[in-house]
Amino acid sequence: MATTQEPLANGNGSAVRPSRVVEEEEDEENIFVFIPNLIGYFRIVLAVASLYYMPLHPRTCSILYSVSCLLDALDGLAARRFEQSTKFGAVLDMVTDRCTTACLLVFLASAFPRWSIIFQGLISLDLASHYMHMYATLSMGGSETSHKKIDESRSWVLKMYYSNNAVLFTFCALNEMFFIALYLLSFSSPYLSPTLLGDPEAPSSLQLGTPASPKPSMLFVSPWSAGAMEMARANKMSSTVPWILAVISFPIMFGKQWINVVQLVKASKWLAEGDRAARRKQGLPRSKYRHAKKQ
């Protein structure tokens, strides 16, 4: 039976707690309020706010989304500066990145339905590669192994990607820049959204196979409503800067997707190595070992 340790009494009869218990209480840290994790929570708030403004306020949405992404570098700096690197923080950071990018790609899939399968594929690749990599690292490398510590013999590409903070930041930042640029072009480029030409006969995205946004008249009963006027204001944006950003960031975005493929393949092979070792240890398949004994 478990017993509860009673506090000791001093000469005056006052209760005195054992020093060991006091030290344990003093050493207990609240991981959830570490500075890097507080930055992570703020990133989530900014990301949710950007999603709220995403349908009709491209400028506000882009600013909030970009700041949320840029803070991804700040929480890492804070973790190293204040010696507050934690597993919870690493998972929080990765989950926030995956979810925010997926939400933006969902919007792009609805804005450009003709290319929705590409955006759906990018979401799946991003989630699958990072999940497989994280799971393989924990199950094969041990619970104390960071997903950013890559053995060069396993993959020099992933080693360079995760070990160099400048490379990691550049790829992640320009990857998000490309998708933000596409988001802005959905409001400003007639080449991508034919309804912006102002032709009443121009196809809308409700017709199959046309990469265009719905006309305001399809979303709002009154053309003078606040929503319709805000959408008309958003569609008056210049597409020059978004096109420049898209062209500059496209090669890096493409490289980031290639790294995701490499990460997925390497993690799958690493898990398969562990499965083969486990099966040999268990004597599987049994038919093979029985045949070897008979010989």
Dump pLDDT digits (tens) for 225-259.
666 667 667 767 889 999 999 999 999 999 999 99
Is the pTM here over 0.85, yes or no? no
Measure the N-to-C terminal CA separation of the chain; round to a whole number of Å.
56
Mean of the per-residue pLDDT values for the chain? Answer: 82
**Catalytic residues, which ones?**
97
Residue 40 exposed, middle or buried by CB count within 10 Å (0-12, 13-18, 19+): buried
Say yes or no to pLDDT of 169 above 60: yes
Contact 75, 40 (CB under 8 A): yes
Say yes or no to pLDDT of 36 above 60: yes
Q: Could you count the other beta carbons within 10 Å of the beta carbon of residue 156?
A: 11
Q: Which amino acid is at 127?
A: L
The DSSP element (H or E) to which 233 belongs, if any, is helix 226-234
Dump pLDDT digits (tens) for 37-63.
999 999 999 999 999 999 888 999 999
Window from 26-40, 94-108, 134-148, 242-256 with minimum mean pLDDT: 134-148
pLDDT at 125 (0 to 100)? 97
Q: What is the rounded CA–CA span in Å between residue 222 and residue 191?
A: 27
Residue 158's nearest CA partner among 269, 258, 230 is: 258
Dump pLDDT digits (tens) for 178-234.
999 999 998 888 788 766 655 545 444 444 344 445 555 556 656 666 666 676 677
Q: Residues 50, 209, 232, 241: what is their CA dihedral angle, to the nearest 10 degrees?
A: 60
Dump pLDDT digits (tens) for 282-294.
888 876 656 666 6
- In this structure, what token pair is assigned to residue 100? 């925010």
Categorize the per-residue pLDDT at 139 as very low, low, confident or very high, splitting at 50, 70 and 90.
Answer: confident
| HEC-encoded secondary structure of 167-213 | HHHHHHHHHHHHHHHHHHHHHHCCCCCHHHHCCCCCCCCCCCCCCCC
